[in-house]
Amino acid sequence: MSRAARARRIATVAAYGGGSLGAMAGVLYGVFYGETKLARRRIRLAETVPPRADGVWTAPGVRRFGEPLRLAVLGDSSAAGYGVLAAAQTPAAVLARGLSAIAGRPVRVQCVAVIGAQSSALLEQVEAVRVGRPQLAYLMIGANDVTHRVRPSESVRHLAAAVTALREAGCEVVVGTCPDLGTVRPISQPLRTVARRLSRTLAAAQTIAVVEAGGRTVSLGDILGPRFATERDLFGEDAFHPSARGYAAAIEVSLPSAAAALGLPTATEPAGVFLTRRVRPVAQAAAKAVTHPGTEVAAATVDGEDRGRKGRWVRILRRSRVPRPVDAPSAPDPVGHSAPAEDDAAVRDSGPAEDAALSRPGS
């Protein structure tokens, strides 16, 4: 069975209910679960929780006053920034500064991501951010579902419900799909290959569910994998979670899609052998996207119709950021300025997202 077919089946089971996804899937999850338990013994636990990124962030050259864009970040430890030492290095802060640079406005962040969270925790997180009326929600979720043997259809059902709730509240949604766990070194071969298959299949199913619910996805895939051999500092000390540079690499590919969701200017790469802008069924696009990190899958129409015989029409895009010209930015200010008493958030200025966030923890 192809990855597209498996992903479509998972998404269908999630939407309409159904039985087991097969004995082989159960065997793979059982073996993988045993291997991850061994891997966890080799993974060093973080000594501190991630610093809080909540507050108002601005990029250099952007004025602090004015109505900030409202950004909510939900998900697991990857969304929270597990392992970084400074608030400016968290994914939420990196994304906020990038959006601020493109929009020319401050960005108010509310991050409710929780270490160890599975997709089943997302609806609770949605309720936590709903009061802030976010304009954009960015989610990173899925790795814990894979390592804890959550049935893919159940995982996807929770994600779809969260995206639907956010869209009904008028919030745009971008989901960074499940990363490729085959890049995690503490998981030994041949189970690393199993981890890759399970995580990529979940990512494809997530893509189908998110697009069907009105959001868009960005494939994180093995974005750190090809560079890991030569750039070991892309992973943190536990060799499982990204470092500050690793998180910045993930946000670097997510930022243009987040900007596009808000109607901010972005550019798309010219069509190539893989990256064609033609419309295709969502399951086919999802299967391709998981093997090409940094690609976006978003809804499209054909002759005014949003669905065909094989499901919703989508396009695969690879976006790039369109920088906003600014007048001679001044030197970065220290992170963590206190806000006026009437503002309940910290106003923070820092260097450009691609500079400050790419530094190592503690630098």
Q: What are phi and psi of 12, to 5 degrees?
A: -65, -45
Tell me the two tokens of residue 229.
Answer: 């051999």
Q: Is 238 a catalytic residue?
A: yes
Closest by alpha carbon to 143, among 111, 116, 121, 114? 116
User: What residues does 316 pair with on adjacent strands?
Assistant: 297
Tell me the two tokens of residue 180.
Answer: 């490729």
CB atoms within 10 A of CB 130: 16
Rounded to whole angstroms, the Cα distance separating 218 from 93 reads 18
Tell me the two tokens of residue 169.
Answer: 């509240």
CB atoms within 10 A of CB 67: 8
Annotated catalytic residue, options 76, 77, 153, 199: 77
Tell me the two tokens of residue 84.
Answer: 């970084």
Q: Is the peptide bond before 186 cis (omega within 30 degrees of 0)?
A: no
Q: Is 158 a catalytic residue?
A: no
In Å, how far are 278, 330, 337 from 350, measured between CA atoms? 39, 10, 10
| DSSP structure string for 35-94 | HHHHHHHHSPPPSSPPPP--EEEE-TT--S-SPPEEEEEEESHHHHTTT-SSGGGSHHHH
Q: Strands, DSSP E only, in 168-295?
A: 172-176, 216-218, 266-268, 280-281
Tell me the two tokens of residue 162.
Answer: 């969260």
User: What residues does 110 pair with on adjacent strands?
Assistant: 72
Annotated catalytic residue, options 76, 120, 158, 241: 241
Tell me the two tokens of residue 73.
Answer: 């970040």
Indicate which residues carry an active-site annotation: 77, 238, 241
